[in-house]
Amino acid sequence: MKLIVASNNKGKIKEYKEILEPMGFEVLSQREAGIELEPDENGSSFAENSAIKARAIFEITDCAVLADDSGLTVDALGGEPGIYSARYEGIDTSEGRSLRILEKLKDVPAEERGAHFVCAIHLILADGREIRASGSCDGSIGYGFKGENGFGYDPIFMYGDRSFAELSSEEKNSVSHRAMALKDLIAKLKGYDI
């Protein structure tokens, strides 16, 4: 089944392809599908933003659309950056946003550096049926950048004694917030005739 992922984030598209293509989905990014639309993500939650993106893309295509909104929540920062993860404090780069979080946590002890990656998925099947799914991964914020893999906040997000950027794709794709949301989605899809 052809499936457009409402994103052009290369790291995110790579993960979706690695997880969904073995299940028989033909995964295309917006760019690969020839769609230049960037919907205004003005929802108040990850779930609302994923629905906004999926519905906007679905209106202009004739196939299934999957959108997610995901991000990092840090306990010591009251849940920041949350839904603003991709544009935290107006900083343009992932490295800059990560540095800002490290700076804010510089005096926070290890036991108070809890963090969570959260993902909300909104799938619209070709016939218009909508399915929501969600997942999360618990960890903590490290004290610097570690690892060369991954993207976004992965180098500062510690999962056990390694950062997400130190995990292989296979390891990350089995434990990440996106993987958990996809597991939830797959379980929900079993009740659908697609």
pLDDT at residue number 23: 78
pTM: 0.89
Find the catalytic residue in 69, 75, 92, 154. Answer: 69
For the chain, list the domains and their CATH numbers. Answer: 2-189 (3.90.950.10)
Residue 163 gets the label, from left (phi > 0), alpha (psi -120 to 50) or beta, of: beta
CA angle 90, 157, 177 (to 5 degrees): 90
pLDDT at residue number 15: 83
pLDDT at residue number 46: 96
Q: Which residues of 17-46 are buried (b: 16+ CB within 10 A; e: fewer)?
A: bebbeeeebebbbbeebebeeeeebebeeb
Element (H, E) at 123: strand 114-124
pLDDT at residue number 194: 58
* Tens digit of each residue's pLDDT (9 = 90 or more) over 152-170: 999 999 999 999 999 998 8
Task: Assess whether the previous peptide bond of 39 is cis (omega < 30° from 0).
Answer: no
pLDDT at residue number 190: 79
pLDDT at residue number 193: 65
Q: Reply yes or no on whether 92 is catalytic.
A: no
* Tens digit of each residue's pLDDT (9 = 90 or more) over 105-116: 999 999 999 999
pLDDT at residue number 192: 67
pLDDT at residue number 1: 84
Residues in the chain predicted with pLDDT less than 50, given as ranges, are none
